[in-house]
Structure 1
Amino acid sequence: MIAIGYCHYINFIYQETSMSTVFKFIKAVLLSIFIIVIILVAFNWQSVTRLYSVVSLFDEALVVDNFSNMKNVFFNKKIVKQGDPYVFDVDLAALPESFRYRGHVTNTEDFLTRRATTALLVLKDDNITFEQYFLGTKSDDKRISWSMAKSFVSILFGMQVDAGKIDIEKTVGFYLPELATSGYGNVKVKHVLQMSSGVKWNEDYLDFYSDINKMGRVLAIGGSLDQMTSELVNESAPGQAFHYVSMDTHVIGMILRRVSGKSLVELLQQNIWNTIGMESDAYWLTDSQGTAFALGGLNVTTRDYARFGRLLLNNGAFNGKQIVSAAWIKAATTPQADYLQPQVGKLGYGYQIWLPPEAEQGEFFCVGVYGQYIYVNQKHNVVIVKNSADLGFLDELNSKQETIAFFREIVASLQ
């Protein structure tokens, strides 16, 4: 019995020792995994934080601040102010108290609040007639352009056309052989400028899996927009219908880089910031390769957006010097196909620049999602800049057309 008891005791000790060894092994494995995770997170911390920032970019409590501080979220490159700024005179005038839209009277103050306006600046005859900043933002905030950047790219593109380096009747593949087998290969440059490329693309901002949101994640966590562009395919014949494909502008930017041998940041610095009296630095968001987010990544003060609008207002001239040809401004603001014409209740399109419904001669605008506008009315010598953080921009009221109605009322009030 003693022998049997002793054997049981020895077996018990063995089992305890084995279990202890197993637990020690498991603890060691878990500790190793924990250390590896910590190292991976530390190594990729910027990617993790950028991805989180993108996911929370449009949170209602954060969106206003985010739209003025995008350089804290994405890769970016600086554009530096040069020389003396062009100084606007001031001749203040009150905004109209209300305006009519779709047969209803809309109160101006209510409209500005509902549309989460962060800045509004009105120029008439080179005088600032109204300038105000809202929701805690300031005059020196660098405000995200979103798709207003497309219009800046159009002007840079026009400069290369003026220099004879680009023929818009040639195909994308002629300038970019690396895109020859993509959806863009056989598309005329002109049709890319007109958002008529026929390339398959989902621009739905509310769809997490859409192409536009996939592109945002590429910007945040690292990747190449050039590579993403090369993977797109064609779904319809080019030059037949308007289909808004933001990546079309990236292709325009790729051509610009190829023919000039310079980055978009360098071109903007040299041809705009150094020439038209911008008063503040700006920055352009980039992918992880340093390539500018051509289709929506500029960050500029409201006053400098107005200076760009003034360049368009004056047909590409600044203080007697032609920065881009008047012919390009005319072409870029003229719909050149029936399907691009503005109509009752329908916007028109030129070369990366929009026209309001039933636009009068010389009336056009640059626009970005969530309520960014540079509106130009050449006949009445007016430029209006509006920045916003309007999460309801896709509502049933059609925010673009409602805002154009507001701008037209401002123009009428200044006559």
Structure 2
Amino acid sequence: MGFNQIRAATLVLLTAVSAHMAWAYPAPPPDPSLPMSTVPPAVQDLRRKMNDADVNALTFRDMDQLFTTRTVARSGAIWPLPQSHHPLDFTYSFQGQRYTPEQFLDRTYTNALLVMKDGRVVTEIYRNNTTEQTRFMAWSMTKSITSILIGCALQERRIKSLDDRITQYLPELKDGGYEGVTIRQVLQMRSGVDYEERYDFANPGIAARNHELALVENVVRFADAARAIKRIHAPGEVWQYKTLDTAVLGWLLERVSGGSTLAAYAAQRLWEPLGAERDGFFIMDGPPGVGREFNGAGFNATLRDFARIGQMMLQDGQANGHQIVSPAWVQESTKATGGPGPGYGYQWWIPNDHAFQAIGLQGQYIFVDRPTRTVVVKLSYFPPEAQQPHDETAAFMAAAAAWTPR
């Protein structure tokens, strides 16, 4: 399976999104150039602390208590997931020691774990007062869901070509660094715009400031930072992880959806045909009528419905009797096109030549291994900046893929 390859991808992600991370921080002074926030100060404070190790086991599955949300509604027949439960009778090696899956759950701060083999659920575990009804924060796994929706829009000809310039659809971006950037380059995190994914709130850069103003205070829209952002590299030249790139893709989907919202488009093109078991939801960067879905990291769903996404991708876009996205899109979007470590596709991480994964901040994973037809979903509450559980999870994923239930 290549543990070192999987570890490399997770290490790059951790480095990309948590450099100089300092999540617990005091309220900054008000910006007189912006409107006053209508979010109660106590709720703002909870949002600033939501990633902290002493509360994130709770906050990561209660985002609808902290944010305005927009529902991605399920409808119709639920896609059944056949059950064939087996004990996790394997071990994995990490740093010269062998561990059992039971030890893994505690050692890597697990809220929920599901393993599928050849379309059957062989393990489904809920911990810390969670259940099959609990909806968990995807964090940056949401980027991979956005990629699926871009594939749907391309298939419907709402987007004519990935090589179209993004400004053909979003002329609001013509005065900034996104001028001349193609949709494909945004998908690949090669836009070249000057947006360092650094969350040092004591010395905030553009990403930390955008997080505070858009997601905590709700006084600006997250994607609006793209309007006048500067360029640091030529488009397509340098890979650099940017949540803003994904937010621009969400804005694009909103624009081409025919006057709808991103959540409504996601419900119609993904969640309903997928046969989701429960409504999903996006957290919003503002109140109703103003805010947008935070599609860079803000989707929430159940463990089983995340597994349905993984199984759909394993089945080349087919789920519940529907072809949600084309097999060609699945293959193209999960193919390494350069990027860090083993590679990065269209908002998917590529640990080797036969697996791909959606990865979210602080331990959220949808891992898909093609040869063994394995899907693993792990939903976690890693402490900020912790590297060890990422490395250990990579070792577990490799062992879980190689495991044959008996």
Name the TM tier (shorter chain). 0.7 to 0.9
Q: Higher mean Cα deviation, 243-252 or 376-385?
A: 376-385
Q: What's the counterpart of residue 8 of structure 1?
A: none
Q: What's the counterpart of residue 268 of structure 1?
A: 266
- Name which of 61, 65, 68 aligns with 1:68: 61
Contact persistence 1:73–1:220 (CA under 8 A)? no
Contact persistence 1:96–1:409 (CA under 8 A)? no
Task: Kindly provide the amino acid, as one letter, of the partner of residue 395 in structure 1.
Answer: A
Task: Kindly provide the amino acid, as one letter, of the partner of residue 340 in structure 1.
Answer: G
Distance 2:182 2:117 in 1: 38
Q: What's the counterpart of residue 166 of structure 2?
A: 172
Q: What's the counterpart of residue 303 of structure 2?
A: 302
Distance 2:103 2:54 in 1: 20
Q: What's the counterpart of residue 11 of structure 1?
A: none
Tell me whether 1:198 sits opposite 2:192 in the alignment: yes
After superposition, the Cα gap between the structure-2 partners of 1:93 and 1:360, relative to the gap in structure 1 and judged at 3 Å, is: farther
Contact persistence 1:101–1:402 (CA under 8 A)? yes
Higher helix fraction: Structure 1 or Structure 2?
Answer: 1
Matches within 5 A, 1:12-411: 46-101=39-94, 104-166=97-159, 167-208=161-202, 209-217=204-212, 218-222=214-218, 223-261=220-258, 262-288=260-286, 289-336=290-337, 339-340=338-339, 346-356=341-351, 359-361=352-354, 363-392=355-384, 394-397=385-388, 399-411=389-401
Distance 2:40 2:345 in 1: 37
Contact persistence 1:380–1:411 (CA under 8 A)? yes
Give me the CA root mean square deviation: 2.0
Distance 1:78 1:49 in 2: 24
Distance 1:191 1:96 in 2: 43
Distance 1:282 1:164 in 2: 26
1:329-362 alpha-carbon deviations (Å, 9 max, x no partner): 11100123xx337xxxx24110001111xx133x
Distance 1:215 1:387 in 2: 26
Query: Secondary structure of the residue that 1:84 maps to in structure 2?
Result: coil
Distance 1:96 1:84 in 2: 34
Q: Higher mean Cα deviation, 223-232 or 115-124?
A: 223-232
Contact persistence 1:91–1:129 (CA under 8 A)? yes
Higher relative contact order (CA 8 A, sep 6+): 2
Distance 1:408 1:206 in 2: 33
Q: Higher mean Cα deviation, 190-199 or 77-86?
A: 77-86
Task: Kindly provide the amino acid, as one letter, of the partner of residue 211 in structure 2.
Answer: G
Distance 1:340 1:220 in 2: 31
1:44-85 alpha-carbon deviations (Å, 9 max, x no partner): 663323311112212333211111111111121112221221
The two structures have a TM-score, normalised by structure 1, of 0.82
Contact persistence 2:368–2:375 (CA under 8 A)? yes
1:20-65 alpha-carbon deviations (Å, 9 max, x no partner): xxxxxxxxxxxxxxxxxxxxxxx96633233111122123332111
% identical equivalent positions: 31
Aligned residues: 362
Contact persistence 2:273–2:322 (CA under 8 A)? no
Distance 2:390 2:239 in 1: 17
Distance 1:181 1:45 in 2: 30
